[in-house]
């Protein structure tokens, strides 16, 4: 599932570049591609006894390879999300919920971000809430709900004026464009959901 995620995020480089060109410096696509290529290499080169080790390794790969704000932010999501996953053997709906809820808390703490700042938090927060609500449902349903919530959260960032990161210097001119990190957050969840659809899990 994570290898599929890497492949998809690398494939979305242009989308993310365009999103960041509109309100930032245009490096988000290249940064995420570099990050998920590093994750892919890490996963292919290692073996992981449990879910938390896997996500921690992915998070460290993002932190050390992406550069820019988003390496720390997305790496913190992957790594910080493992807080309550010690020894978990499979990604089921409760594990998804824990990963998103704890990952969100870690990102907010690290990034000093609150909802409405026009960051990836505006997509991750509704996704975490949706996954928490769907924790008793099958994984594909929980991922579908989290993906749709992230999509709506990402869409809502178009109506926000950036107050964090590079886009804040644009002020009102960031209106009408989604936050690039929110687009990535939606694409990450959508890729995980797509994988469950394809694999029938």
Contact region with ligand ADP (CB under 6 A), list: 85-93, 115-123, 126-134, 188-196: 115-123
Q: How far apart are CA 33 and CA 22, in angstroms?
A: 18
Size of the site for ligand ADP (CB under 6 A): 23
Q: Which does 120 bind (CB under 5 to 8 A by kind): Mg ion, ligand ADP, none?
A: ligand ADP
Does residue 24 bind Mg ion (CB under 5 A)? yes
- Three-state DSSP at 37 gives helix
- DSSP-derived letter for residue 177 is S
Alpha carbon 60 to chain centroid, angstroms: 14
- Structural contact between residues 184 and 17, judged by C-beta atoms closer than 8 angstroms: no
Q: What is the token pair recorded at 32?
A: 């995420």
Gyration radius (Cα) of the chain, Å: 15
Q: Which does 179 bind (CB under 5 to 8 A by kind): ligand ADP, Mg ion, none?
A: ligand ADP
Does residue 179 bind Mg ion (CB under 5 A)? no
Cβ proximity to ligand ADP, 138 vs 171, nearer residue: 171
- DSSP-derived letter for residue 200 is T
Residues lying near ligand ADP in the complex (CB under 6 A) are found at 20, 24-25, 27-28, 31, 68-70, 73, 107, 111, 113, 119-121, 164-166, 179-182
């Amino acid at each position: 599932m994570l290898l599929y995620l890497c492949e998809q995020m690398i494939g979305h480089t242009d989308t993310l570049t365009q999103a960041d060109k509109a309100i930032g410096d245009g490096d988000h696509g290249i940064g995420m591609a570099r990050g998920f290529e590093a994750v892919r290499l890490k996963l292919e080169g290692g073996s992981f006894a449990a879910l938390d080790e896997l996500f921690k390794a992915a998070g460290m790969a993002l932190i050390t390879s992406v550069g820019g704000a988003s390496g720390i932010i997305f790496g913190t999501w992957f790594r910080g999300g493992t807080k309550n996953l010690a020894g978990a053997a499979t990604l089921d709906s409760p594990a998804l919920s824990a990963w998103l809820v704890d990952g969100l808390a870690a990102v907010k703490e690290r990034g000093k971000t609150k909802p409405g700042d026009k960051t990836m938090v505006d997509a991750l927060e509704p996704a975490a809430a949706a996954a928490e609500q769907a924790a008793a449902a099958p994984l594909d349903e929980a991922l579908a709900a989290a993906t749709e919530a992230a999509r709506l959260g990402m869409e809502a960032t178009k109506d926000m004026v950036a107050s964090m990161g590079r886009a804040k210097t644009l002020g009102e001119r960031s209106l009408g464009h989604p936050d690039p990190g929110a687009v990535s957050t939606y694409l990450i969840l959508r890729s995980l959901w797509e994988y469950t659809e394809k694999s029938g899990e």
